[in-house]
Amino acid sequence: MKWKEILIRYGELSLKGRNRNHFVRKLRNNIKGAMSDLKSIQLRAERDRMFLIADEESDMQKAIERLPYIFGIQSFSPVAMCEADLDAIKEKALEVVGTEDTAGKTFKVEIKRADKTFPYVTAELQQALGGHVLHHFPELIVQMKKPDILLHVDIRKEGAFLTSKVYKGAGGMPVGSNGHSLLMLSGGIDSPVAGYLLMKRGVSIDAIHFASPPYTSELAKQKVMDLTEKLCSFGAPVRLHVIPFTELQQAIVQQVPDNLSMTTTRRMMLQIADKVREEIGALALVTGESLGQVASQTLESLTAINEVTSTPILRPLIAMDKLDIIELSERIGTYETSIRPYEDCCTIFTPSNPKTKPKLEKVHRFESFFDFQPLIEEAVRNREVIEVWRQHEKDDFEDLL
Amino acid sequence: MRQKGREIHMIYFDNSSTTRPDESVLESFIAANMKYYANPASLHVLGREAEALLKRSKEQMLKLIDNESGEVVLTSGGTEANNLAILGIAEAYRSRGNHVITTQIEHPSILNACIKLEEIGFEVDYLAVDAQGLISIEELEKKLRKDTILVSIMHVNNEIGTIQPIRQCAELIKKSSRAVFHSDCVQSFGKLPVSMESLGLDAITVSAHKMNGLKNSGALFLKKNVTPHAINFGGGQENGLRSGTVSVPNAVAMAKAMRMSTIHEDSADYREWRNLLIDACSLYENIRILSPHHGAPHILSISFKSINGEVAVNYFQEHGIIISTSSACSSKNKNAGHVIEAIGLENKFKNGVIRVSFGNTNTKDEIAEFIKVLKSFMELIERGM
């Protein structure tokens, strides 16, 4: 089946009032970015919908594969074109309906006759086409209300445009249309899901990860890079900031008693993240915290940790059950990577019984014996910034294979 | 008389036995050995690199065979892959039934595995073939049963080059059973289009050294959700299907050989050469052409009346041309091979079978040379009769 173009329907974008142009522009850019290697693709954005046109059939196929992952698209439909001539339209209609699973499905023809010089009126055309399709697909049942297969024919001056298949889009809003945030990415199951949910709401993100070599390995870092790369596939490039955290972590172990060290560690991480956030001009921090999941995620702990900053901390998973989070991570394809078994900075130096209700005044007291600020600033300064999506540009393997 | 191992230039027409490795494949093999020698199962950074390279190699192989959603198990060659397909799949699906179908002209690595299956209680039907080496779809239809769990039919026969109607078989099998459909594509990959999708297969065997790759390197491709039981045991590599340290350099070399061979998949040259040879052989009453007209482009099998194939092999070798008697796997046996028996060749021709098989080192001049030597050989034996 050779498709002429793809009709892309916007999600809630079309609800937006005066900001709509901004949203449409973002979506257009994101689609363009995702298709940048497909040379024959062109985009034409209209007020309520967008058209993707490709000359190469293979580019068209790839576009159909990639569009379902781009946020801000409600649904999309490949469109076939033929001359505005009854026989040609009949022929094309069979081809288009032939791409669908027709067994036991309901069916309807819908005609839009924009070109009024076309010699048949809508009702005639509807009957002729419907009859022709039913003759070839006798298993179809005609149904006017909510048919499974809606063959839409648009007759314009330049030809007839036929479409029937509707692919579901990812929904949400175009990434980047709702500002920029910094995601705290540990390498576990939750944080990539949190990133995904925020991106779905149109937030573009940078990610921050804490590494404590040699306690954490290069593999743990690679795992986080792989997760970041996965996040990039949801619509916009995600930069990764890797913070050298060993010294700070050692200082904490020396200064703070075992059962409070976890709380202090999180407070330090949050301060570092906040400084990075400020440098990159992001507005909020994002975490994968879910209430009551571990000691650091009780309401008391969250309060004690949150005290170090007034920056908004977005916690999209806060009320989600672990099993639901796992299910979502499987669906978006981060689960397999998340469960690779490497130590991360949260699992080393874990006290045997961390406080679930840390007392803030105690935390303050122990932290007051040592000036952590120089170490915090050094960690921010010495961070490694990785543009993971560029890693593939140099490829040793290509020559070998 | 030439001394052993110091031949000046021999024309090599035994590419269905094995091929000379492509230089670029060897280069990749050496480079991968020098740089990515670590065990891909190791946790350290070198192991991870090796694992990444292994993954890429496999992705390339899977793509080339149109099985991107499926799996590939790397083996020590076609034989092991065929053994794994037959023994492993039959065992894994035994709860569904007890019946296996194959053909009389399979490679010994299929046939002998099937004999093993019979010994442990499976029922195996061996489809007969006609004089062209073709199975009959009708017979397959008759033999298929509700409890058939595995059908294995080779794509191209290694001795006479018959191409079986795999696609048609697949449609029939899918229609009337739940059987897994495996095909030994060792002779066809790189010469004919081999695609899991368009052939309608569930499992495919490929061997690297038949397509200018390295010996001791093969693979069993499995469609998603087709999982045999393991037939060897150890550290559980290859998803537990083939224990033993995975050789990343071999995987690299095989992925490369597969890629190179599919580039040259259009075998127009081979077809032309084969037709030239067929025309030349047709001149002699004492030669019988065994390969079907629409056979694989790179294999031509003929037989000399009342002459031993070995005599022809010796004569051609004296004149600088390497050919073989039927297949290398059975050529040292005194009896006529199972394929020759299966196609029902008359007795006078049974012992005189030779096979000419082309590869990418051959040229059209070499075909002319072959025809010249054939002529002198025919003169010799006709005088002697």
CATH code of the domain covering residue B312: 3.90.1150.10
The residues, ordered by sequence, that sit 6+ positions from B230 with a Cβ below 8 Å of its Cβ are B84, B88, B240, B241, B242, B243
- Percent of residues, chain B, with pLDDT higher than 70: 95
Cα gap A34→A32, rounded to integer Å: 6
Of A4-8, A200-204, B216-220, B268-272, where does the model show the most confidence?
Answer: B216-220
Indicate whether B77 belongs to any domain.
Answer: yes
Cβ pair B213, B249 in contact under 8 A: no
Indicate whether B240 belongs to any domain.
Answer: yes
Cα gap A157→A165, rounded to integer Å: 23
- Residues of chain A found within 8 Å of residue B262, distances taken between Cβ atoms: none
Residue of B nearest to A397 (CA): B53
Q: How far is CA A272 from the centre of its chain?
A: 26
- B100 and B223 belong to one structural domain: yes
Average pLDDT for residues A187-202, to the nearest whole number?
94
Cα gap A249→A171, rounded to integer Å: 41
Cβ pair B356, B300 in contact under 8 A: yes
* Model pLDDT, residue B2: 46
Indicate the DSSP class of residue A391.
G
Burial A346-363 (b: 16+ CB within 10 A, else e): beebebeebbbebeeebb
Domain range spanning residue B128? 23-263
Written as one letter, the residue type at B132 is Q
* Model pLDDT, residue A390: 63
Indicate whether B189 belongs to any domain.
Answer: yes
Q: Which residue is associated with the tokens 């007759």?
A: A155
Cα gap B381→A368, rounded to integer Å: 105
Please report the DSSP string for B18-29 in residue order.
--PPPHHHHHHH
- B112 and B207 belong to one structural domain: yes
Cβ pair A237, A203 in contact under 8 A: no
Cα gap A369→A361, rounded to integer Å: 13
- B247 and B294 belong to one structural domain: no
B228 preceded by cis ω (within 30°)?
no
Query: Each residue of A273-323: pLDDT tens digit?
Result: 999 999 999 999 999 999 988 878 889 889 999 999 999 999 999 999 999
Cα gap B215→B223, rounded to integer Å: 25
Report the residue from A219, A400, A401 with minimal CB separation from B48: A219
Report the residue from B43, B52, B56 with minimal CB separation from A401: B56
Written as one letter, the residue type at A284 is A
Indicate whether B1 belongs to any domain.
Answer: no
Whether B258 has a pLDDT exceeding 90, the answer reads yes
Indicate whether B2 belongs to any domain.
Answer: no
Cα gap A239→A234, rounded to integer Å: 13
Count of other CB atoms within 10 angstroms of residue A83: 11
* Model pLDDT, residue A240: 96
Whether B330 has a pLDDT exceeding 80, the answer reads no
- Residues of chain A found within 8 Å of residue B56, distances taken between Cβ atoms: 397, 401
Count of other CB atoms within 10 angstroms of residue A320: 20
DSSP H/E element including B364: helix B364-384
Tokens of B311: 């005599």
SS3 A89: helix
The whole-angstrom distance between A198's CA and the closest CA on chain B is 30
Indicate which CATH number applies to the domain containing B139. 3.40.640.10
- B53 and B178 belong to one structural domain: yes
- Our count of domains for chain B comes to 2
* Model pLDDT, residue B328: 54
Residue where one domain finishes, among candidates B263, B290, B310 = B263
Query: Each residue of B196-223: pLDDT tens digit?
Result: 999 999 999 999 999 999 999 999 999 9
- B113 and B192 belong to one structural domain: yes
Indicate whether B299 belongs to any domain.
Answer: yes
Tokens of A85: 């001539």
Cα gap A253→A357, rounded to integer Å: 19
Indicate whether B43 belongs to any domain.
Answer: yes
DSSP H/E element including A225: helix A218-232
- Chain A, residues 222-251, CB within 8 A of chain B, namely 222
Beta carbons of A217 and B53 less than 8 Å apart: no
Q: Classify strands A106-113 and A141-142 as parallel, antiparallel or unpaired.
A: parallel
- B350 and B320 belong to one structural domain: yes
Whether B184 has a pLDDT exceeding 70, the answer reads yes
How does residue B1 score in pLDDT terms, banded at 50, 70 and 90? Answer: very low
Indicate whether B3 belongs to any domain.
Answer: no
DSSP H/E element including A33: helix A20-34
Partner residues linked to B250 by β-bridges: none
* Model pLDDT, residue A285: 97
Written as one letter, the residue type at A165 is K
Partner residues linked to B102 by β-bridges: B126
Cα gap A250→A273, rounded to integer Å: 19
Query: Each residue of A52-67: pLDDT tens digit?
Result: 998 888 888 889 988 9
* Model pLDDT, residue B22: 94
Whether B327 has a pLDDT exceeding 70, the answer reads no
Least reliable range by pLDDT among A95-104, A189-198, A348-357, B374-383? A348-357
Report the residue from B45, B48, B252 with minimal CB separation from A400: B252
- B235 and B335 belong to one structural domain: no
- B109 and B209 belong to one structural domain: yes
- B254 and B282 belong to one structural domain: no
Report the residue from A397, A399, A401 with minimal CB separation from B259: A401
Count of other CB atoms within 10 angstroms of residue B266: 12
Query: Each residue of B67-110: pLDDT tens digit?
Result: 999 999 999 999 999 999 999 999 999 999 999 999 999 999 99
Residue where one domain finishes, among candidates B208, B237, B263 = B263
- Residues of chain A found within 8 Å of residue B60, distances taken between Cβ atoms: 401
Whether A194 has a pLDDT exceeding 50, the answer reads yes
Average pLDDT for residues A373-386, to the nearest whole number?
95
Cα gap A316→A327, rounded to integer Å: 15
Residue where one domain finishes, among candidates B263, B280, B315 = B263
Query: Each residue of B140-174: pLDDT tens digit?
Result: 999 999 999 999 999 999 999 999 999 999 999 99
* Model pLDDT, residue A37: 79
* Model pLDDT, residue B289: 95
- Residues of chain B found within 8 Å of residue A219, distances taken between Cβ atoms: 43, 45, 48
Considering only residues B332 and B114, tell me which one the structure prediction assigns the higher pLDDT. B114
Q: Which residue is associated with the tokens 């000359």?
A: A55
Whether A347 has a pLDDT exceeding 80, the answer reads no
Query: Each residue of A131-162: pLDDT tens digit?
Result: 999 998 888 888 888 889 999 998 888 889 99
Flag whether residue A65 sits within 8 Å of chain B, measured between CB atoms.
no
- B99 and B141 belong to one structural domain: yes
Cα gap B318→B306, rounded to integer Å: 21
Count of other CB atoms within 10 angstroms of residue B294: 11
- Percent of residues, chain B, with pLDDT higher than 90: 84
- Percent of residues, chain A, with pLDDT higher than 70: 95
Q: Identify the structural domains of chain A with CATH numbers, from first to last.
A: 5-170 (3.30.2130.30), 180-393 (3.40.50.620)
ipTM: 0.71
Partner residues linked to B204 by β-bridges: B183, B221
* Model pLDDT, residue B72: 97
- B151 and B238 belong to one structural domain: yes
Cα gap A290→A322, rounded to integer Å: 8
Average pLDDT for residues B237-253, to the nearest whole number?
94
- Percent of residues, chain A, with pLDDT higher than 90: 39
Flag whether residue B32 sits within 8 Å of chain A, measured between CB atoms.
yes
- Chain A, residues 155-194, CB within 8 A of chain B, namely none
Nearest to A108 by CA among A142, A153, A154, A155: A142
- B210 and B240 belong to one structural domain: yes
* Model pLDDT, residue B385: 52
Query: Each residue of B99-142: pLDDT tens digit?
Result: 999 999 999 999 999 999 999 999 999 999 999 999 999 999 99
Indicate the DSSP class of residue B240.
G
Whether A98 has a pLDDT exceeding 80, the answer reads yes
The mean pLDDT of chain A is: 88
A214 preceded by cis ω (within 30°)?
yes
